[in-house]
Structure 1
Amino acid sequence: MNNTLKVSEAELYYEVRGSGPLLVLVGAPMDADAFAPLAELLASDYTVLTTDPRGVKRSKLEPGGTSRPEQRADDLAALIRYVDAGPAVVLGSSGGAVSALALAQGHPDVVRTVIAHEPPLDRLLPDADELLAQSEKLMADYLAGDVTGAWKQFFALANIQLPDEVVEMMFGGERDPEQEATERFWFGHEMRESISWVPDVDRLREVDVVVGIGEESTGQLCDRTSTALAAELGVEPTRYPGDHTGFVDHPEAFAKALRAQLAEAGFRPSV
């Protein structure tokens, strides 16, 4: 089922598949389409909710709106309450992991477990100020029109090894206008808000939080931030297939690992 829900300053696009306990898959800026293959694999046992975050693709935002983690958390809480199948296990990846953590802090009643897959919580690191300065530069460069230059800086900062010619092929020349609009919104209204967010660790310790890291993400920036979060919470990180986008690149393996994680947490399909 595809539908929309009106919330404060936005209209959210969302999709619901399957039946059973509620599982939410969310990114930022990744939209619902990125999670579709994984959602299809899990829909045989779970009610799977996916969504475009506010301001991205089919989720419309009022002029002048922004995308702070607290706003995205309110959006997720509204969706969970609207579909009326919670409390939910929420798997958020990247900026969506920040959204999920903010949801656990602000709306613990709608959450059973949060799986925070590689949240970019730069403020937890000792070099946070330097990271923010580099991020501010690449965001400014992108918004000034240096698209490939900004992406090269981004991947270097994230310690993701991509040759310059690959970046130029991915982000140069004629591109999909919808994808460009998503990127521009992210660099202008979402990235800073996500990487600058500071979790309330004491409140998160009151919720079941799993910190996920890709098996192939070792040494990357989000490996560092996720490891720092796990240390703050006093939990061991859980390794998932692939790297930062393992759920996209290896949906079958990721689904298998996620099912095992859910079973371990006692979140089993209805029979």
Structure 2
Amino acid sequence: MTGPTTGTLRVNGATLHYDVRGRGPLLLLISGGTGGAASFDAIADDLAAEYTVVTYDPRGMSRSTLDDPEAEQSVAEHADDALRILELLSPDEPARVFGSSSGAIAALHLLTAHPGRIERLVAHEPPVVEVLPDAPAHRALLARVQATFRAEGLMPAMAVFAAGLKKDGDTSEPMAASEPETESQPKAGMEAKAGFTLPPQAAARARQTMANLPYFVGRIVPSFMSYVPDVNRLEALADRLVLACGQDSRGELPYRPAAFLAERLGIELRHFPGGHTGLTTHPAEFGEFLRKALRG
């Protein structure tokens, strides 16, 4: 299969870079964390055998630049970016959408704000912690992350954040500081310790992931994890929504809101291979589960 076609789209306050593969009904993939469009490289070509697959770097990430680098970020604006891509590439037909983590939060808002544009949405572990009964504890976590970021810097803040995502609030042994959604960096670090050198493309992705981290921690995390979804609206649209979690994520913070919403909406909670980053750790299996979820 030939490489993707790349385009740019001017939106309010930013220029988005997107990639298009394949042919068929449009499938928009919205990334979480700092990975951007590259986080879907392992599954996009396979999906392109059935769909016109569109990936993009969210505003402020990788190739998608902000007019004002200091601009505050909002879920609604990120969802509007996704809408503009759908209007450009599928103006006459509703599309299928997959969102992961913070990308799933933007996708949920897109569904509630513009339901006519979405035929089916698969949302994988959207950390909409405000729906949880213990939401105040998670607000406190976010406040600690931001305070640590300002006082001590990026990696200490990521360590606080990662520890807060662990099962049952256990912070005794923090996860790798970048585990929540920045899969490339830990791999780069492990290979460096082992005396290996990453292939050039993987090394470039790891560098870009790290370059995106300050923006993710400082702008995306506090804005997106304080977002309150319209649960009543989601209930009315539940027939076109699939909520998914990693089968290895049970008990972890990103798992809990999706499980809570699935029960609240009366829909099945799908379990995908791996954990929060199953897209990276189990790409072939993850892609197959996504394909099935998109069909019904």
When normalised by structure 1's length, the TM-score is: 0.89
Does the aligned pair in 2 maintain the 1:143–1:188 contact within 8 Å? no
2:23 corresponding residue in structure 1 = 19
Pairs within 5 Å for 1:107-256: 107-159=114-166, 166-167=176-177, 170=186, 178-207=208-237, 208-256=240-288
Label 1:7 to 1:157 Cα distance change in 2 as closer, same or farther (>3 A). Answer: same
Q: 5+ unaligned residues in a row in structure 2: which ranges?
A: 179-184, 193-202
Report the 3-state secondary structure (helix = DSSP H, G, I; strand = E; otherwise coil) of the residue aligned with 2:213: helix
| Alpha-carbon spacing, 1:128–1:41, altered in 2? closer, same or farther (3 Å) | same
Q: Secondary structure at the match of 1:205?
A: helix
What is the aligned counterpart of 1:81 among 78, 87, 90? 87
- Match of 2:98, as an amino acid? L
The answer to whether the aligner puts 1:45 opposite 2:77 as a matched pair is no
Q: Could you tell me whether the CA contact under 8 Å between 1:143 and 1:184 is conserved in 2?
A: no
> Aligned partner of 1:77: which letter?
L
Structure 1 vs Structure 2: percent identity of aligned residues?
35
CA-based RMSD of the aligned residues comes to 2.4
In structure 1, what is the equivalent of residue 60 of structure 2?
55
Aligned residues: 263
Q: Which SS does the other structure have where 1:55 is aligned? A: coil
Against the structure 1 CA distance between its residues 162 and 92, is the aligned structure 2 distance closer, same or farther, given a 3 Å change threshold?
farther
Deviation at 1:142, TM superposition (A): 2.2
Contact 1:55 1:67 in 2 (8 A): no
Whether contact under 8 Å (1:215, 1:243) holds in the other structure is yes
Q: Provide the rounded CA distance (Å) in 2 between the counterparts of 1:228 and 1:215.
A: 15
2:196 aligns to what?
Answer: none
Alpha-carbon contact 2:112-2:230 (below 8 Å) kept: yes
Partners of 2:163 and 2:173 within 8 A in 1 = no
Shift of 1:163: 5.6
Matches of 2:117 and 2:150, distance apart in 1:
37
C-alpha distance in 1 between matches for 2:67 and 2:15: 9
Q: Distance in 1 between matches of 2:269 and 2:174?
A: 32
Are residues 159 and 61 of structure 1, via their aligned partners in 2, closer, same or farther at CA, if it must alter by over 3 Å?
A: same
- What is aligned with 1:269? none
Q: Which residue of 2 aligns with 1:5?
A: 9
Output the TM-score relative to the length of structure 2. 0.82
The gaps in structure 1 that reach 5 residues or longer are 266-271
- 1:69 and 2:75 are equivalent in the alignment: yes
Task: Name the CA distance, whole Å, in 1 between partners of 2:115 and 2:164.
Answer: 33
Matched, 1:258 2:262: no
